[in-house]
Amino acid sequence: MKPFDIISSSPDAASLTRLLDLCFGPGRHARTAERLREGNRAMADYDFCAQSADGTLLGSISFWPIYIGQSPALLLGPLAVHPEHQGVGIGEHLMQTALAAVDAKRFPIVLLVGDLPYYERVGFAVAPPAVRLPGPVDPARLLVKGGHAECADLAGLVRPAPELC
Ligand SMILES: CC(C)(COP(=O)(O)OP(=O)(O)OC[C@H]1O[C@@H](n2cnc3c(N)ncnc32)[C@H](O)[C@@H]1OP(=O)(O)O)[C@@H](O)C(=O)NCCC(=O)NCCS
């Protein structure tokens, strides 16, 4: 039996804050990706979490509406798995389940800042150099997933798009 369940809902705010502090540390609000969450709202339909049988929060994923230039898209993140439960597939299950739920007609592109070796297994690739974030980011960690045509032509500044929620 799988030691976790993937649930279609967001965790309670206090549990989520504890998990994110554990996974990313106190400096997490200074990250450039955070600029895309300010004044924005997570897409409630695409919030998923992983729980143990007794309801303990083990992991979480969320998505935020953005524009990349003129193209509607989603920012993936944060994706976080409790340090004591990493390496058993929770992160990958969260991503596969959540990405399968995304309406690709509304949001043909998903963008994130993360490590290519981890995310390429679910189809992410380095974004074209013309895609810019509102702050510093290592271009090798700026990743996109979508159809080839959509991704190849991507360009412009990435900004929050709460009106797409
Ligand atoms: C990254 C994270 C979400 C992965 O979750 P997880 O549940 O441990 O991942 P999975 O069990 O699905 O996958 C584990 C595999 O991914 C690999 N992996 C984990 N993090 C990786 C990384 N940053 N780069 C490359 N590979 C990575 C592991 O080595 C393992 O490889 P294996 O399957 O060959 O043994 C989790 O480690 C975490 O929360 N880290 C801290 C927060 C973070 O960095 N989040 C992502 C920021 S964008």
pLDDT of 74-128, one tens digit each?
999 999 999 999 999 999 999 999 999 999 999 999 999 999 999 999 999 999 9
Q: How confident is the model at residue 3 (pLDDT cuts 50, 70, 90)?
A: confident
Distance CA 114, CA 23 (A): 14
pLDDT at 160 over 80: yes
Identify the residues whose C-beta falls under 6 Å from ligand 1. Answer: 23-24, 77, 79-81, 86-92, 114-115, 117-118
User: What is the value of pTM for the model shown?
Assistant: 0.96
Query: What pLDDT shows up at residue 72?
Result: 96
Work out the average pLDDT over 14-19.
Answer: 96
Nearest residue (CA) to ligand 1, atom 15: 87
Query: What pLDDT shows up at residue 1?
Result: 58
For domain 5-164, give the fold: Aminopeptidase (3.40.630)
- Cα angle 89, 18, 73 (rounded to 5 degrees) comes to 60
Of 148 and 75, the structure prediction assigns the larger pLDDT to: 75
Give residue 115 CA to ligand 1 midpoint distance, Å.
Answer: 9
Q: How many residues make up the chain in this entry?
A: 165
| Identity at 11, one-letter amino acid code | P
